[in-house]
C-alpha cells in the first residue's frame, strides 16, 4: 500500500520546472499526479509516477537529485464532508499529516488523495483499525488501466 | 639492557634519513642561513636590475648584510613585481642555465614565470622529498599524484620527489573521478597527493557509487595548493580513513615544498635552510612580535635562477613558539586556512570563506558545494551564500529545507557576527572544483 513518490528541488526561476517534466516526457513516462509546493526561492515538485524507478534513473542521469518518499493513497467520498471525516480520524489517532494533494483520477464516486505522514506506520495502523484500506499501487494502476 | 645498543637505537628510526636536515641544531642553521643570505643578496644585486635599483634606492648594498636578521634592511618584493617582470625580468642567471621554466599565475596581466637551474631542481626535489618523508611516505608506497601538471608546479614537484624517494608514482593528474577511484583500488594506492578540494570531490563521487575509501589501502593524503580549514581536515580524515597532511608552497618561491606538517599536525615546519620566514604587518610592513599573526614574508636562501628577497606572500599566519614533539628544529608556521586575497568586507565586518566553511561543516558535518556571491548594491558590497542541495540534504518537505536554510543562516551569523542571506540552489548549480575550489564569485563591478 505504500506508494513511492519522487520529489525534486527546483529553483523558483522561470523555465526551471519544464526541465524535469520534459525529461520524463521524452522518456515516455507519464505523470499520474503531481503537486508543487513553493516558497519564494524554491519549489519542491512531487510526482507520482508508475515507473518510478525508471523515472528516477532518467532524472538522476541528467544530474537531478531525487528524493523518494513513501506516501499513501486514501479514498474519500466525493461529497462535502468526505475529507473532514478522514482528517478527524487522523486527529483522534494523533497522526500528523505533513502534506496532501489529490489524484487526478477517481475511483467511481470516490476521490483519491495522496497523504504524506509524519509517521507512516502509525497512520497505516490507524487506518486499518478504522477499517480503511489505502489504495495499493497495484489497485491504483489497475484502475488507471481500466479508465 | 646494553647501554651501547640503546644509545644506538636512534629516534631517527622513526624518521626517514632524508629528513635529517630537519634536525640541524639552530646555531649551525643560523650560520648557514646567514651565509646563504649574503650569497643571495650578492646574486640578486649583480644579476637582477630590479633588485639592484631597489637596493640602491633603499641605500643598502650587499656589504650591509652580515647575519640573516639583516634581511630586514632590504626592501620587499611583491607579486606585482613578478607580473611586471614577466617573462624573464627576474632571472638572475643566463637563460641557458635554466633547465625548467613553469608558466604560473593567471591570465593576461597576471602571468609569472618560475625558473630553475640544475641546482634549483635538485634542491626542490630534496625539499619535496623532505615533505613526503615528514608525511610518513617511503619506498614501497604507491603515490597517486592527482596534482595538476599543466600551469602548476605541484604535479611535477611531487612526481619527481616521489620517484627520488623510491616510491611508486602514478602520474594521473586531475579529472575523471571514476578513473581515479578505479586506479586507487587497482594499483593499491597508499598515498594521495592532490588539493583538498579534489579529495572532497572524489569522496562525493565515491559515496554516490558506493565506494568506501576506508576499505582501501589508502592511508595518508599529502595536500597542496589551497588553504583548507581544520574542520575540513577532520572531515576528510574521517570520511577517507586517512591522515591528511598540509604542505605549503608558492610556485613563485619554489612550488610545493616550503613547509610541511609532521605527524603531530600542529603547525607546518618551514625548511629554514632554504627559506627565511618573517611575519609583518600587512599594512606597514613592520615586523610583528613572535607568535603574532601577520603577513608571511619569505626570502629564498638557495635559489639561483629566480631568487626572491622578502617576498610578500599575501598569506596570513604566525610563527609558533616552542619545540615540536617531533624534534625538528625548524620553526613552525600556523596552518594557513584562508587566502588573504579572498577576504572581503561586508557590513563593516571582515569575512573569510573559511569562516563560512566552518559554519557549514558545523551544521551538516559534511560540506555541500557552496559559493559566496558578491554583488554591489548602491555602492555597498553584499554577500549571498549559495548552498547546493545534494542527495544528503534534499527532502520532500518544504519545512525540512527551510529549517536547514535557517540553521545554516544561524550558524553563519554566529561565525561572522553579521546576518547574510543563504540561498539553497539546485543540484549541480555550483561548478565542481577538481583543482583549487573557487569559492568566491565576485560580481561587484558588473552593472546592477
Q: Are A25 and A48 members of one domain?
A: yes
Is B165 within a domain?
yes
Please state, rounded to an integer, the average pLDDT across all residues of chain A: 91
The last residue of one of the domains, among B306, B338, B370, is: B338
Q: Which residues of B130-150 are buried (b: 16+ CB within 10 A; e: fewer)?
A: bbbbbbbbbeebbbbbbbbbe
Q: Which residues of B358-372 are buried (b: 16+ CB within 10 A; e: fewer)?
A: bbbbebbebbbbbbb
Q: Are A92 and A138 members of one domain?
A: yes
Is B118 within a domain?
yes
Note down the domain range covering B424.
Answer: 343-442
CA B371 from centre of chain: 21
Q: Specify the DSSP class assigned to residue A35.
A: E
pLDDT of residue B4: 41
Which chain A residue lies closest to B405 (C-alpha atoms)?
A41
Q: Are B314 and B367 members of one domain?
A: no
A12 touches B at CB < 8 Å: no
pLDDT of residue A126: 92
Q: Are A64 and A49 members of one domain?
A: yes
What is the value of pTM for the model shown?
0.76
Which of A65, A69, A98 is nearest residue B427 as measured by Cβ atoms? Answer: A65
pLDDT of A110 higher than 70 = yes
Q: Are B142 and B222 members of one domain?
A: yes
pLDDT in tens, A117-126: 999 999 999 9
Q: Are A96 and A133 members of one domain?
A: yes
Asked whether the beta carbons of residue A116 and residue B396 sit closer than 8 angstroms, the reply is: yes
The list of chain B residues with pLDDT below 50 reads 1-12, 448
Question: What's the structural domain count of chain B?
Answer: 2
pLDDT in tens, B201-212: 899 889 888 899
pLDDT band at A147 (very low <50, low <70, confident <90, very high): low
How close does chain A come to B390, measured CA to CA in Å? Answer: 7
Q: Are A140 and A80 members of one domain?
A: yes
pLDDT of residue A122: 93
- In contact, B122 and B307? CB cutoff 8 Å: no
pLDDT of residue B12: 45
Q: Are A120 and A134 members of one domain?
A: yes
Is B410 within a domain?
yes
CA distances, B347 to each of B221, B371, B407 (Å): 38, 19, 21
Q: Are A96 and A114 members of one domain?
A: yes
Asked whether the beta carbons of residue B428 and residue A63 sit closer than 8 angstroms, the reply is: yes
Which of B396, B428, B429 is nearest residue A44 as measured by Cβ atoms? Answer: B396
Note down the domain range covering A41.
Answer: 3-69
pLDDT of residue B413: 92
pLDDT of residue B376: 85
**Of all helices (H) and strands (E), which one includes residue B296?**
strand B294-300
Asked whether the beta carbons of residue B398 and residue A5 sit closer than 8 angstroms, the reply is: no
Q: What is the CATH number of the domain that holds A105?
A: 3.30.70.260
Q: Are B330 and B349 members of one domain?
A: no
A35 touches B at CB < 8 Å: no
Q: What is the CATH number of the domain that holds A11?
A: 3.30.2130.10
The last residue of one of the domains, among A48, A69, A90, is: A69
Q: What is the CATH number of the domain that holds B419?
A: 3.30.300.30
Whole-angstrom distance, CA of residue A73 vs CA of residue A114: 5
The last residue of one of the domains, among B317, B338, B359, is: B338
- What was the ipTM of the complex prediction? 0.90
pLDDT of residue B270: 98
The last residue of one of the domains, among B338, B353, B368, is: B338
Whole-angstrom distance, CA of residue B193 vs CA of residue B220: 9
Q: Are A95 and A138 members of one domain?
A: yes
pLDDT of residue B3: 41
pLDDT of residue B337: 78
Asked whether the beta carbons of residue A42 and residue B401 sit closer than 8 angstroms, the reply is: yes
Is B3 within a domain?
no
pLDDT of A136 higher than 90 = no
Q: Which residues in A lie closer than 8 A to residue B398 (C-beta atoms)?
A: 37, 39, 44
Amino acid at each position: 500500500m505504500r506508494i513511492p513518490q519522487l520529489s525534486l528541488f527546483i529553483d523558483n526561476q522561470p523555465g526551471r520546472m519544464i526541465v524535469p517534466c520534459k525529461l520524463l516526457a521524452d522518456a515516455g513516462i507519464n505523470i499520474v499526479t503531481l503537486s508543487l509546493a513553493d516558497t519564494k526561492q524554491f519549489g519542491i515538485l512531487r510526482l507520482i509516477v508508475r515507473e518510478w524507478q525508471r523515472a528516477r534513473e532518467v532524472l538522476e542521469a541528467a544530474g537531478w537529485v531525487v528524493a523518494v518518499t513513501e506516501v499513501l493513497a486514501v479514498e474519500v467520498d466525493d461529497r462535502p464532508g468526505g475529507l473532514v471525516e478522514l482528517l478527524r480520524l487522523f486527529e483522534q489517532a494523533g497522526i500528523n499529516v505533513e502534506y496532501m494533494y489529490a489524484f487526478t483520477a477517481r475511483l467511481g464516486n470516490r476521490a483519491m488523495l495522496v497523504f504524506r505522514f509524519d509517521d507512516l506506520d502509525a497512520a497505516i495502523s490507524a487506518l486499518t483499525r478504522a477499517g480503511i484500506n489505502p489504495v495499493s499501487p497495484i489497485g491504483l494502476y489497475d484502475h488507471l488501466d481500466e479508465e | 639492557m646494553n647501554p651501547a645498543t640503546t644509545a644506538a637505537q636512534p629516534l631517527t628510526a622513526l624518521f626517514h634519513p632524508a629528513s635529517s636536515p630537519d634536525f640541524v641544531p639552530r646555531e649551525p642553521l643560523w650560520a648557514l642561513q646567514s651565509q646563504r643570505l649574503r650569497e643571495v643578496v650578492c646574486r640578486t644585486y649583480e644579476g637582477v636590475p630590479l633588485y639592484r635599483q631597489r637596493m640602491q634606492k633603499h641605500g643598502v648594498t650587499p656589504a650591509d648584510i652580515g647575519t640573516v636578521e639583516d634581511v630586514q634592511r632590504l626592501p620587499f618584493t611583491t607579486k606585482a613585481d613578478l607580473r611586471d617582470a614577466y617573462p624573464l625580468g627576474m632571472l638572475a642567471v643566463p637563460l641557458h642555465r635554466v633547465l625548467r621554466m613553469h608558466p604560473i599565475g593567471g591570465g593576461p596581466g597576471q602571468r609569472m614565470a618560475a625558473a630553475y637551474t640544475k641546482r634549483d631542481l635538485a634542491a626542490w626535489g630534496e625539499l619535496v622529498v623532505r615533505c613526503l618523508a615528514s608525511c610518513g611516505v617511503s619506498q614501497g608506497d604507491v603515490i597517486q599524484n592527482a596534482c595538476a601538471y599543466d600551469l602548476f608546479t605541484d604535479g611535477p614537484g611531487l612526481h619527481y620527489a616521489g620517484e627520488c624517494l623510491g616510491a611508486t608514482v602514478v602520474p594521473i593528474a586531475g579529472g575523471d573521478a571514476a578513473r581515479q577511484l578505479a586506479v586507487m583500488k587497482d594499483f593499491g594506492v597508499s598515498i594521495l597527493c592532490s588539493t583538498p578540494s579534489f579529495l572532497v570531490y572524489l569522496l562525493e563521487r565515491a559515496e554516490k557509487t558506493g565506494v568506501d575509501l576506508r576499505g582501501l589501502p589508502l592511508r595518508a593524503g599529502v595536500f597542496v595548493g589551497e588553504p583548507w580549514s581544520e574542520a575540513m581536515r577532520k572531515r576528510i580524515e574521517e570520511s577517507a580513513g586517512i591522515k591528511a597532511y598540509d604542505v605549503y608552497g608558492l610556485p613563485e618561491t619554489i612550488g610545493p615544498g616550503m613547509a610541511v606538517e609532521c605527524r603531530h599536525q600542529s603547525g607546518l615546519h618551514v625548511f629554514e635552510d632554504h627559506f627565511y620566514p618573517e611575519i609583518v604587518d600587512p599594512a606597514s610592513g613592520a615586523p610583528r612580535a613572535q607568535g603574532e599573526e601577520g603577513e608571511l614574508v619569505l626570502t629564498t636562501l638557495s635559489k639561483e635562477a629566480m631568487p626572491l628577497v622578502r617576498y610578500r606572500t599575501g598569506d596570513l599566519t604566525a610563527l609558533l613558539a616552542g619545540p615540536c614533539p617531533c624534534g625538528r628544529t625548524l620553526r613552525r608556521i600556523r596552518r594557513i586556512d584562508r587566502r588573504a586575497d579572498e577576504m572581503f568586507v561586508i557590513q563593516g565586518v571582515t569575512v573569510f570563506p573559511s569562516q563560512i566553511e566552518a559554519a557549514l561543516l558545523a551544521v551538516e558535518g559534511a560540506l555541500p558545494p557552496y559559493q559566496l556571491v558578491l554583488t554591489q548594491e548602491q555602492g555597498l558590497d553584499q554577500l549571498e551564500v549559495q548552498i547546493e542541495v545534494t542527495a544528503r540534504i534534499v527532502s520532500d518537505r518544504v519545512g525540512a529545507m527551510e529549517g536547514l536554510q535557517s540553521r545554516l543562516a544561524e550558524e553563519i551569523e554566529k561565525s561572522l557576527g553579521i546576518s547574510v542571506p543563504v540561498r539553497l540552489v539546485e543540484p549541480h548549480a555550483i561548478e565542481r572544483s577538481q583543482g583549487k575550489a573557487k569559492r568566491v564569485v565576485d560580481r561587484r563591478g558588473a552593472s546592477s
